[in-house]
Amino acid sequence: MSGIFSKAMARNIFYGGTVFFFLLFLALVYDTEQVLPTRDNREALTPEVIAGKKIWETRNCIGCHSLLGEGAYFAPELGNVYPRRGPEFIKAWMMSQPTGAPGRRQMPNFHLSDTELDNLVAFLKYTSGINTSNWPPNIEG
């Protein structure tokens, strides 16, 4: 069996296919944006949560921990740490770092003020309220 295989046609199909699938992707992202209000816990986005997110970012927490499964895998998942540990434990934990236990993984002390700790906890509480389709499989994350 023989036939034609031309570069011009391969090129046209590349451009056509790419545009097609990119438009399809944008359509799905558009629909996602419409559905998100019912899932992303945006009603809980208080100024404290927003300040907490900034603390999360400027301490580079994602460099060791994962949040909703994304980040580094060196330290526990924190998307559900609020229900797992509760607010007081989280604050006490942050203040008592580093443990200094020889040979164990160490977390720096970020010297956060009480307000900053409260904001961070508010952010983690908001995060735990996001509808993640039941991920993680159990409370251990």
Partner 1 sequence: MNTATTAALSVAPAITVERRLAGDLAIWIFILAELLAFGVFFAAYAFTRANHIELFDAEQVALHRDAGALNTVLLLTASYFVVRAVQAAERLASAASARWLLAAMVCGAGFVIVKLFEYSAAFEQGVSLSSSPFHMFYLSLTFFHFMHVILGMVILGAMWFGARAGRYRPGDMNGLETGAAYWHMVDLVWLILFPLVYVIH
Partner 2 sequence: MQYKSQAVAMPYFIAAIGLFVGQIIFGLIMGMQYVVGDFLFPEIPFNVARMVHTNLLIVWLLFGFMGAAYYMVPEESETELYSTKLAWILFWVFLAAGALTILGYLFVPYATLAEMTGNDLLATMGREFLEQPLPTKIGIVVVALAFLFNITMTVLKGRKTAISVVLLLGLWGLAIFFLFSFYNPHNLVRDKLYWWFVVHLWVEGVWELILAALLAFVLIKVTGVDREVIEKWLYVIITLALVTGIIGTGHHFFWIGTPEYWQWWGSIFSALEPVPFFAMTVFAFNMVNRRKREHPNKAAVLWALGTGVMAFLGAGVWGFLHTLAPVNYYTHGSQITAAHGHMAFYGAYVMVVITIISYAMPLLRGRAANSEKAQVLEMWSFWLMTIAMVFITLFLTAAGILQVWLQRVSDTPMSFMAAQDQVVLFYWMREWAGVVFFIGLLTYLASFFVKGETKAVAN
Q: Which does 130 bind (CB under 5 to 8 A by kind): partner 2, partner 1, none?
A: partner 2
Here the tokens at position 134 are 């039941």
Residue type, 90: I
Stretch that binds partner 1, among 1-9, 62-70, 81-89, 97-105 (CB under 8 A): 1-9
**4 contact, one of partner 2, partner 1, none, CB 5-8 Å limit per kind:** partner 1
Per CB under 8 A, 1 contacts partner 1: yes
DSSP assignment letter at 37? G
Single out the residue of 138, 137, 136 nearest to residue 66, CA to CA.
136
Cα atoms in the 13 Å half-sphere on the side-chain side of 31: 5
Residue 31: CB minimum distance to partner 2, A: 7
Residue (of 75, 61, 79) closest to 128 by Cα position: 79
Query: Which residues between 16 and 45 bind partner 1 (CB under 8 A)?
Result: 16-17, 20, 23-24, 27, 31, 35, 38
- Does 134 sit near partner 1 (CB under 8 A)? no
Residue 56's binding partner among partner 2, partner 1, none (Cβ under 5 to 8 angstroms by kind) is partner 2
Q: Residue 17 and residue 88: Cα distance in Å, rounded?
A: 53
9 lines the binding site for partner 1 (CB under 8 A): yes
> In whole angstroms, what is the distance from residue 99 CA to residue 102 CA?
9
Cis status of the peptide bond prior to 136, with omega within 30 of 0? yes
**Site residues (CB under 8 A) for partner 1?**
1-6, 9-10, 13, 16-17, 20, 23-24, 27, 31, 35, 38
